Amino acid sequence: MSRLEAKKPPLFISEPLTKDAVSQSLSLLSGLLKSCYGPAGRLKQLHNGVGGYVCTTSQSSAIFSRLSVSHPILRVLTASVQNHVSRFSDCGLFTAILCCSLIENFKSLSIASCTVIKISKHLLSLCMDYLKSEVCGCRVSVDFCSLETLRCLVHSILTSKPACMLNKPEVDHLTTLILKAFMFTVPCHVETNAVLGKCIIVPVKGRRVLDSTVLPGVLIETPEIQLAKPLTVKRSCSNMIKIALFCVSMSGDLFNPEEGTMTVHHGISLEMSELNQLLNVGKQLVSDEVGLVVCQKVIHPSLKQYLKENHIVAVDRAGLSLMEPLSQMTGSKPIGSIHSVSPSSYGSLKDVCIESFASKHFVHLIPNDTVVCSLILCNRNETAWDELKRACETAEHVLQLTIKEPLALLGGGCTETHLASYIRHKSCSLSTSTFKDIDCSQTQYQLVADGFCRSLESVACSLNHDDGEILTDVVYGHCWFVPSGFPSVSNLSDLVSKCGCGINGNSGNLNWRLLQGQFGSPIIQGCPKEPSGKVADFLTLDCFAAKCSGLQVALETANLILDLSYVIEDQN
């Protein structure tokens, strides 16, 4: 068959970063992301243009999953950020903004891209070595004997998500709940290969945030449950409740014809045969003193009635997502066949009761040892609830990462400006052998280092959305925000009381310099000092692992894009 249209040759685009369309798209993406950044970030409404669900958010995970980009360079950037967010859940906007800024600053230099890449890799290694050293002045240790630093971490995440629409009492309440839920998931008995439990978020929309609560164990929604009648559950001789967990349908459905053919003898009813087998399973469960049956799918009404008559609580339609936490919490093994039920598959529970929240009714499975818990999460409307759910999941993941690496970085732009100060100081004290090893001149190194530092500072400046001034001090290298509305002749140092992260106060002798719009300001000669002490009630903190990864991903992605000589697009 002949083609209706001749096949087109691929489109070759040389030096894509020099094209105006790419620069404009990159600048547009950068501006969009910067406007979302931080507690005062502006919200974005994302929809597909033909109706349907509208997402109101300022979170990178929601933005990048719904943002459609067409140019290959932007796809590389967004794919890198999405991969970072999938692994760390946090610092997605930081990563994307820094990457855009690095590309913009590096491509404006009259230096070969290969040289820029080698120098930037060396700068990254200086940053990572400093961040992981004991003398680092922008990180804090996390002491798990005290919840103060963990509270600051969770508090910082919640307050940076304006679409959650939370006031201070609500933030404090949720911070406590998230920490309580996290503590439930930490095993009481530490083993060689300890595994964290799971926090299951239960949605209750249209209620006050302050109605949210945390319960140990699992809640399974059961609309047909009768609250008026007390729940009687059969217990074993050890006063425990045996639980059987089925991951196969118990509805009595016949085999799918697509799976093969069956030969049935005359007079045999497949439906009755299947139902008899289900009732045989029920008899075995009664004989084995099982008190609770949970099925991922549907349980036949006749089997349900039989189990109820024998004081066995039957819960069906639990769903796939609950199978793993139920197995982990009860020690049961999901049973995948109604033709072979082994007593060794049973688990145990401490108790089962009925809970009611708003108009929803749940069966509450209470474990012997709490490693799984349920966070009943309330918010006023669906949009705010969706955003809050993402924020709570991020907070939980950040706490899990912090257990592996008990460190945090100062937030509020202070880590970025402090790192920039450190790199400016460090780049002035490198030996000539370093430049020789990198195969660059000292001037080239200084130019790239300045672009790197300006990129870090631009991320800190992105936190300011109200046209106020931004200062940095030459003692600690921290970021200070001056409120808008004051005349330019004012003494700016009199208008700030604490730095962005809240750890330093204005001592009056910090030697300020303007940051925003004056990135070419004098280089700090001294190495920035460690903070003097905490000033604010809550420090603004960032996840150490997520921010370190974001720094690496941003620079490596920028280097990859800078190194692109051609883009080849198939036009067919």
CA angle 15, 17, 19 (to 5 degrees): 85
pLDDT at 572 over 50: yes
Contact call for residues 60 and 394 (beta carbons, < 8 A)? no
User: Other C-beta atoms within 10 Å of 357: how many?
Assistant: 18
Residue 254, pLDDT score: 60
Q: Across the chain, what does the average pLDDT equal?
A: 87
CB burial string 482-493: b at 16+ within 10 A, e below: beeeeeeeeebb
| CA atoms of 133 and 258, how far apart (whole Å) | 62
Residue 522, pLDDT score: 42
Query: What letter would DSSP give residue 289?
Result: T
The single-letter code of the amino acid at 205 is K
Pick from 166-170, 248-252, 429-433 the range whose average pLDDT is largest.
166-170
Q: How confident is the model at residue 263 (pLDDT cuts 50, 70, 90)?
A: low
Residue 11's φ and ψ, nearest 5 degrees, are -95, 120
The single-letter code of the amino acid at 555 is L
pLDDT at 542 over 60: yes
Torsion of CA 361, 362, 363, 368, to 10 degrees: -140
Torsion-angle region of 238 (φ positive above 0: left; ψ -120 to 50: alpha; else: beta): alpha
Please give, one letter per residue, the 3-state secondary structure of 129-172. Answer: HHHCCCCCCCEEECCCCCCHHHHHHHHHHHHCCHHHCCCHHHHH
Residue 454, pLDDT score: 95
Sign of the alpha-carbon torsion through 316, 322, 326, 332: positive
Sign of the alpha-carbon torsion through 101, 107, 110, 114: positive
Residue 489, pLDDT score: 52
Q: How far is CA 221 from CA 226, 348, 356, 469, 559, in A?
A: 12, 20, 9, 52, 50
Q: What is the mean pLDDT of residues 120-129?
A: 96
- Helices 301-309 & 270-287 angle (0-180, nearest 10): 20
> Which range is least confidently modeled, 144-158, 365-379, 469-483?
469-483
Residue 353's φ and ψ, nearest 5 degrees, are -145, 180
| Token output for 363 | 């069966």
| Token output for 515 | 């940051």
pLDDT tens per residue, range 265-281: 555 666 787 888 899 99
The single-letter code of the amino acid at 170 is E
Q: How confident is the model at residue 520 (pLDDT cuts 50, 70, 90)?
A: very low
Contact call for residues 163 and 58 (beta carbons, < 8 A)? yes
pLDDT at 536 over 60: no
Strand partners, 373: 199, 216
Structural domains in the chain?
12-138+410-569 (1.10.560.10), 143-217+377-405 (3.30.260), 218-254+269-369 (3.50.7.10)
Q: How far is CA 99 from CA 106, 389, 418, 462, in A?
A: 11, 27, 18, 13
Residue 524, pLDDT score: 46
Residue 523, pLDDT score: 44
Residue 53, pLDDT score: 80
Residue 518: CB partners within 8 Å, gap ≥ 6?
none
Q: What percent of the chain has pLDDT over 70?
A: 89
For 411-484, list the strands marked E by DSSP: 470-473, 479-481
Q: What is the mean pLDDT of residues 328-332?
A: 93
pLDDT tens per residue, range 412-447: 999 999 999 999 999 988 999 999 999 999 999 999
> Which range is least confidently modeled, 85-89, 500-504, 515-519?
515-519
The single-letter code of the amino acid at 99 is C
Query: What letter would DSSP give residue 493?
Result: G
Residue 465: CB partners within 8 Å, gap ≥ 6?
35, 38, 40, 41, 42
Residue 372's φ and ψ, nearest 5 degrees, are -125, 135
Q: What is the mean pLDDT of residues 170-182?
A: 97
pLDDT at 558 over 70: yes
pLDDT at 521 over 70: no
CA angle 142, 143, 145 (to 5 degrees): 150
CA angle 380, 384, 385 (to 5 degrees): 80
Summary count for the chain: helices (H), strands (E): 15, 20
> Which range is least confidently modeled, 100-109, 180-189, 506-515?
506-515
- Look up tokens 């257990």; give the residue: 403
Residue 493, pLDDT score: 67
Residue 378's φ and ψ, nearest 5 degrees, are -115, 145
Q: What is the mean pLDDT of residues 495-519?
A: 77
| CA atoms of 383 and 221, how far apart (whole Å) | 22
Q: What is the mean pLDDT of residues 66-94?
A: 93
